[in-house]
A and B are shown apart, each in its own frame.
Chain A
């Protein structure tokens, strides 16, 4: 998905994916099934952000089917010519598109995690229609969570920072940890590993994350202190 995204972000008007026939993949992993699912998903995402899904096309063919290759690329070029430069037909300008695609790019890891089971499934062609729906995608985007470390609960144990796969958590001894929302991929590892008796991380859906405490004001509130205070 990231590669297709990149192409569109860079301003490509169309992306064509040529793949071997299903069940004819050289590898027993049969990745072309998953690629097809990815395309089905991405097309719905394109619709969601307002890009014409026909700008992405996947065609199955074997190495011996030069005629299929020629026909499908020519017909694809025709389609793209009719749709015009990226955004023109859809009424979006370059900046719009870039920023929407950038948003999607940020959510790719999260999308992969939530749609993992659906992406893995090997579908029959009659199952393509409606496998991913507009509503599903809209929900995916609307309900994309953000994770927030509550300053009053964090005990600076460093666990989440160590486990964060993209090193998105700013941490120091005795300082409340802060999730850098720009880097965060919403994988949910932090909330999983935060020790149960701290439970410092919350999942926020539907509204923006509160700003982190500014630097210099991140001393942790030691639980033991609290007890004493109480």
Chain B
């Protein structure tokens, strides 16, 4: 996540006001006046470089809130290693702030950045829209004394455990018990702490993420300690997300890991070992009390502690669970226009949903403020680039102290002198912190003064600041690819702090390698491609239509392709949602808006015959009710939805009384007498998935069954409804409806996959359903008049074909595979193509709307620019050396390579725009015909040679000495 933080920190159009709170919000959408209070850090942000010197000298220790107060930190410190801005702050435990004593930090700060007289700053800003991305907080386990958190030393929350697992945590990545600093070998996880409770002091909803995060913690624990025994105590495993079922199985299959279906009682603490006992119950073994070295409470998610004040300040309403009250048809819109939410304030949410709701909220703001687009944006301007290609390398080396981070271990002056002995080096100097504004300027000045055409910055990792230093070169008129960073911090001073001589020798090695490499580097241009401003959307269901409207409302042409003769997709068969949305009304409204919009062109009965091009420049050929059309567009959104499995089990298709849940919903809506007047109705969950054929969870079925059950009970309270389930996965706020269904006497009977329910047709026309009730361990049978199957959601039939046309990938279950499951959930690895809706994975209508807006946001991020820039580090082909074997083409999944005919036989050809620079083709090429710019063989070999030859020099020298 750190690169994203840096990106935000450096973006010319983003101003970060940290340690700031909102006091009041006046005005309306498009024109708000907001008063802010910037709390004093007691540090001058412009001067602080994040060197940590003050932290070293501060005498005050207090429990560090970042590490869950398990380990101490200083009164002045940077909150965490990747903080943006990378600036310290002084906590109220400071001696000066409390007693006007000390002031050591002021004296040791080399940049005079400490300002103990700082006061709260009041700032007024004028803005058009607001996004509340306030996040969630973990449930405070101290609210339920029965968990003994804070009382038994070895009962910890999952947040505590996260910090223990982390290498920047209280024990440096070792999982240790606070009581005796020993490793725990037997650990229990307790699910649903603070969630799924009707009682006071906890929340009735399901927090949705705990089941999976506990599994993650188990897997990481096993990585730390292969012999560890891990037990997860639960009441339903809610692994409903994409690939989560597999993740669950992966955890279950680890040796020494058990899943036990039982809520527990925390027993006693043994005074000597401080081990904790847990009492649990299973029908097979009865009541067991087991001792554990450590107990982890899987705490749920709650809104921020002061959410009611925040709601007041912003003038928005909250729901009954104290999350933001949202429009069911627009889960990002609060009750006050112009104020949107993204992420956890919507409700308990996982990362992918959070990310695309953020993109979605920004798309809605894009719609709101489209009339002002671009008026306030700032662009960077650079001087004209000098052509230094023909010059001999003139290398400048800047060795950074990084405050004391490097210089405390590596002798910097010695290193600077050494640099002067290296070939082509014409300038070498030290800097206290190269990233500081004045130092960066010094680099620019030196480049101009000394006519440098190559720069080596010996400092930290390029992951943190390469963009900054590349920028610095551009400011001096030099091609930015002439920069090389030698990491003598993360790779040297930070890991060899106890061996200063070796650290110095290694720093010299690293720099020598960088110097050899930088001399070989070539100037590279980044490609600027024009962007066609239109978007193509494949699929006219809720997802496609929502995305289409959002994009069109931001003044872009949209081509909406639908394979059926009507728009609407699966939603045509859905009538309601659990939170009361009238789906048909919403659908009609959407369709009406689509047809009414002047910028949206709809193609019905459409098939795609051809799809070519690349980001910003796609050409797609469509056959439809309008004939054959060639559409030029800059972006594509794949929203082709999903299908329903046609069951072969449980007499489906052979008895009229057996239906799927979607069919049942239809019959309820149409008041089919046979259904509404049934005496006994049975629902069977997990039909056709969570098995060998489809090893995933269809996510929506448990809630759909509850919804149908409630609807049936409403029209016929006397109906006996039985739901046969494996786990009830009514996650999030749907848990409330599960409780409501139970309250209305819907009966839930748990079964296990090894003992599937059996359905037989009886003579009298009803169906006898027999199942082994796991709680009672007894077989029960029900004579059902109607049997409803929660049939699996399956990928749309068209998925493979569309994937092939747009050159995107599929996940193991046959749905589209996004670029990154957490951080890029609506992008494909293929640039310019996006996805949303059930084509991504089964989901609810609200989630689809969330994601559709999210995809629209990403499309706008592309289409709002006139140009798109591709990296300069791409492959090139030396045709003479190419033997046409095609090895490179076979491994490039980006489709950047192909074989073309030439006078000298088949030769490889590359589309540099599609090249991502991973270099795999290089390794497969036998002749070295293809090379990756900025990572050529010559460049890499020069580094290897510089290391080893330099070593030999050192060995010779020491031998001679």
Contact = CB atoms under 8 A, between A and B. Distances in A.
Chain A directly contacts chain B within the complex, with at least one CB pair under 8 Å? yes
B881 A28 contact: no
Given A6-B941, A109-B926, A165-B883, A31 B919 contact: yes
Contacts of A6: 941, 944-945
16 contacts: A3-B944, A6-B941, A6-B944, A10-B944, A11-B948, A12-B948, A27-B918, A28-B893, A29-B893, A29-B920, A31-B918, A112-B924, A116-B887, A162-B904, A163-B905, A185-B926
B913 interface: no
A204 interface: no
Cβ-closest 5 pairs across A and B: A10-B948, A109-B926, A27-B918, A31-B920, A165-B927
Contact of A34 (B166, B923, B951, B952): B923
Nearest to B919: A31
Contact of B883 (A35, A64, A189): A189
A66 B948 CA distance: 26
B553 to A, nearest CB: 33
Contact of B891 (A29, A110, A193): A29
A119 B920 CA distance: 11
A113 B894 contact: no
A51 B903 CA distance: 45
B916 interface: yes
Contacts of B951: 11
B920 to A, nearest CB: 4
B539 to A, nearest CB: 23
B892 A29 contact: yes
Interface in A2-60: 2-3, 6-7, 10-12, 26-31, 34-35, 38
B920 A34 contact: yes
Given A6-B944, A165-B929, 14 more contacts: A6-B945, A7-B948, A27-B916, A29-B891, A29-B892, A67-B167, A68-B223, A108-B926, A116-B924, A120-B887, A120-B891, A120-B924, A167-B880, A185-B926
Interface residues of A, number: 39
Interface string B839-852: 00000000000000
A66 B944 CA distance: 25
Nearest to B923: A34
B167 A66 contact: yes
A185 to B, nearest CB: 6
B479 interface: no
A28 B904 contact: no
B224 interface: yes
B3 to A, nearest CB: 11
A82 interface: no
Interface string A188-222: 01000100000000000000000000000000000
Contacts of B166: 64
A28 B880 CA distance: 29
B829 interface: yes
Interface string B166-185: 11000001000000000000
Contact of B927 (A26, A38, A187): A187
B880 A3 contact: no
A166 interface: yes
Interface in A143-174: 162-163, 165-167
Given A7-B944, A38-B923, A165 B880 contact: yes
Interface in B24-81: none
B464 to A, nearest CB: 13
B923 A28 contact: no
Contacts of A165: 880-883, 927, 929
Interface string B883-906: 101010011111000000000110
Interface in A78-132: 108-110, 112-113, 116, 119-120
A30 to B, nearest CB: 8
A182 interface: no
Contacts of B223: 65, 68
Nearest to B819: A28
Given A31-B920, A166-B927, A120 B890 contact: yes
B666 to A, nearest CB: 40
Nearest to B945: A10
A29 B948 contact: no
A162 B891 CA distance: 27
Contacts of A10: 944-945, 947-949
Interface in B927-952: 927-929, 937, 940-941, 944-945, 947-949, 951-952
B885 A113 contact: yes
Nearest to A12: B948
B918 A187 contact: no
Contacts of A31: 891, 918-920, 923
Contact of B173 (A30, A34, A66): A66
B926 A193 contact: no
B887 to A, nearest CB: 5
A119 B809 contact: no
A1 B703 CA distance: 54
A229 B173 CA distance: 86
A119 B891 CA distance: 10
A35 B948 CA distance: 23
Contacts of B949: 10
B887 A112 contact: yes
A6 to B, nearest CB: 5
B808 to A, nearest CB: 9
Q: Which of A29, A35, A38 has the most CB of B within 10 A?
A: A29
Nearest to A119: B924
B918 A29 contact: yes
A112 B892 CA distance: 17
A35 to B, nearest CB: 8
A11 B954 CA distance: 14
Contact of A28 (B809, B883, B919): B809
Contacts of B173: 66-67
Contacts of B948: 7, 10-12
